[in-house]
Every structure is written in structure tokens, then in C-alpha cells.
Amino acid sequence: MSFLFGSRSSKTFKPKKNIPEGSHQYELLKHAEATLGSGNLRQAVQLPEGEDLNEWIAVNTVDFFNQINMLYGTITEFCTESSCSVMSAGPRYEYHWADGTNIKKPIKCSAPKYIDYLMTWVQDQLDDETLFPSKIGVPFPKNFMSVAKTILKRLFRVYAHIYHQHFDSVMQLQEEAHLNTSFKHFIFFVQEFNLIDRRELAPLQDLIEKLGSKDR
């Protein structure tokens, strides 16, 4: 949540996505922040009693977008066309971009370009009222869960790139506690609702196991 971040983080990579104050989703976000403050992340990610699963996933997806936006915003100066000419997460994993509409055939591109495509694409999904309805009583579409899963799968790749290629910079900036807390929250959330295929998580599998074992 936003309270985790220091002064540098006022710089975001893309504009922050706000949830309208006074809305039910805003109340859910406040609930999530309060339970996160308790320190028990496994409990904090659980669906609150009586709440709609789609809405809970929507609110948290927006929040993770904002968190990753801030985290990547702190290291953009180190993630350049020359330092990261491909979008990778260590030597074994490389990502090529396609969104199915504007770019149908996956293209190889630099990490800053890929992340720009990715965050712009996510933003477009979050701003689409037919996919992410913000008004009470407007139903979520039938394909909502598959869209949310794709968004979260892609956001994971930004975490994976930051950990593999820029962790030294994160440590220099003393942002590693923020990054670790944010990623742990993200992983516990996707595990709770089975939102990302285990194979997709492979680039950070060791870290995921380490974070999970600390919590048992």
C-alpha cells in the first residue's frame, strides 16, 4: 500500500490509478490497508466476509498496479535501452511483447519499452468501465477473471525484472524493504486465489519459497 513508500516514490512511472473516495471499492481498499497494517499478510489477502470476489480482486489489482508503478518509477534511470536491451528476468527468462490487438505477433524489445507497453496496456484495462466497473451495482463481465489473471501475470514480470536486473540499485536507494513487502503481498494474494500459473512464477521461485517459509 502507498504508506510503504518513502519520498523518492512520489515519482511514478505512469499516473497513479485512483479509486474514487466514498465508493465501496474505496472502503475495501481502506479495509485492505488496515489489515495489512496488522502485519499478517496471509490473513490480509483473504476475501473479507460477505464481499464479492471479483471486486476484491479488482481493488487489489489496481493497488498492485500503483505499487509497481511507484517501485519501477524509482529505478527508471537505471533501466535503459543500453543497460536492458531485452526484457529479461535473469539469463534464462526473456519476455516478448504482444497485446493481441495493436501488437498481435510478439516482438522483442528493450525492458523500458516492454514495461512502457505493459503498464500502458494495464492502465487501459483498469480505465475500461466495462472491465473494471467502479459504480455500485454494475456487474463485472464474464471474462473479468481471465483479464485480471493476465494483468497480474504481466505485472509479475516487472517485479521479476527489478529483482534480477536492478536489485543493486534498489539497495542503493534503500528501497529493498518496500520492494520485498510489496512483492510478498502480491505473491500471497495470487497464491490465495490461484491467479498465476506456477510456471510463470519460475524466475522468482527461490525468493517465493523463502518469503513463504518465513511466514509459516
Residues in the annotated binding site? 79, 84, 161, 166
H helical segments located in 38-175: 41-44, 53-75, 111-127, 144-172
Residue with grid cell 495493436, as numbered in its chain: 102
Residue with grid cell 500500500, as numbered in its chain: 1
- 36 forms bridges with which residues in the sheet? none
Could you list the residues known to form a binding site for Zn(2+), using ranges: 79, 84, 161, 166
Cα(209)–Cα(202) distance, rounded to whole angstroms? Answer: 11
What angle is formed at CA 198 by the lines to CA 152 and CA 42, rounded to 5 degrees? 70
> At 124, which amino acid appears?
D
Host H or E run for residue 95: strand 94-95
